[in-house]
Amino acid sequence: MTGQDIIDKARLILGDSEKRYWVDEELARYLENGVRELAKRSGIFQRKTLLEVKQTQPVYTIDDEVLKILEAYDETNGVDLALRPYSVNAEKTGNWRTVLVESFNKLIFPVPEERLVTVLYSYIPKSFGDGIVTYDFDSDTNEDTVTYDFDGDGQQDIVYWVQDGSPAGVLPEWAQDALVDYVVYEAYMVDRAEQNQQKAQFHFLRFKSNANRLADLAFQSYGAGAEIAYQGF
């Protein structure tokens, strides 16, 4: 299911197949919001990055919208590193097998030996305009097109979750429909009529239920703690 498919299904629910009330650009923004919310609630978007730890540099920052650092592996010594919340005392008493985490995306090595460390983390996909959802209007055909690009490579993707920067599996249809529900939710929220507000809440509850179900699926598939779906929310 592509971004255009998601928006088209949302239009059927909204009764706006002829685009009289909502333009595709507006619904594309709702879709982007839905992806970010889905990422926060499920933790399905995961990446690995390789850090070249130097003896003279104890602090490293991951330049991404990190939700949670999930694990760290010392490639040089072949051991898992223990993740600990940062504190002054932890920094003083930490050893070479310890990594301290501060502000979600900052890692501090109490003993910064020369080594390579792979860090796995969950993250929020790119924001609107940076590649995840793009809206185009073709004046020759008089058609709107919404492109859904998760990995920012410029190619339209079907909906999948990502681990290690690679496609890891197509989301089940019920999970893709969660994004349809979110688009409908935001569209109805614009209308202050009580009936549409009730409809909005109905679709948001369906979205939330499927997002939580997806968190369980991510946990079963990858073993990443399901708590990542709920931290801070």
Q: Is the domain of 75 the same as that of 96?
A: yes
| Rounded Cα gap, residues 105 and 127, in angstroms | 18
> Are 71 and 119 part of one and the same domain?
yes
pLDDT at 88 over 80: yes
pLDDT, residue 184, reads 96
What number is the average pLDDT over the span 128-137? Answer: 47
Instruction: Note the pTM of the prediction, 2 decimals.
Output: 0.69
Angle between helix 3-14 and helix 24-42 axes, rounded to 10 deg: 110
Residues with Cβ within 8 Å of 163's Cβ and at least 6 positions away in sequence, in order, are: 46, 47, 48, 222
196 & 95 share domain: no
Residues 39 and 135 in one domain: yes
pLDDT at 108 exceeding the cut of 80: yes
Rounded to 5°, angle at Cα 59 from 55 and 64: 130
Verify that 55 and 33 share a domain, yes or no.
no
Average pLDDT, the chain: 77
- Tens of pLDDT, residue by residue over 24-80, are 888 888 988 888 898 888 877 777 889 999 999 999 999 778 888 988 999 999 999
33 and 106 part of one domain: no
* Per-range mean pLDDT, top range of 25-39, 161-175, 211-225: 25-39
* Structural Rg of the chain based on CA atoms: 21
User: Are residues 38 and 52 located together in one domain of the fold?
Assistant: no
Give the DSSP letter of residue 143.
E
**One domain, residues 31 and 99:** no
- Flag whether 17 is in a domain: yes
Looking at residues 85-106, what average pLDDT do you find? 92
**97, part of any domain:** yes
The boundaries of the domain holding residue 90 are: 46-123
Which residues are paired to 161 by β-bridges?
A: 169
Domains contained in the chain, number: 2
Which of 192, 189, 151, 117 lies closest to 35 in space, CA to CA? 151
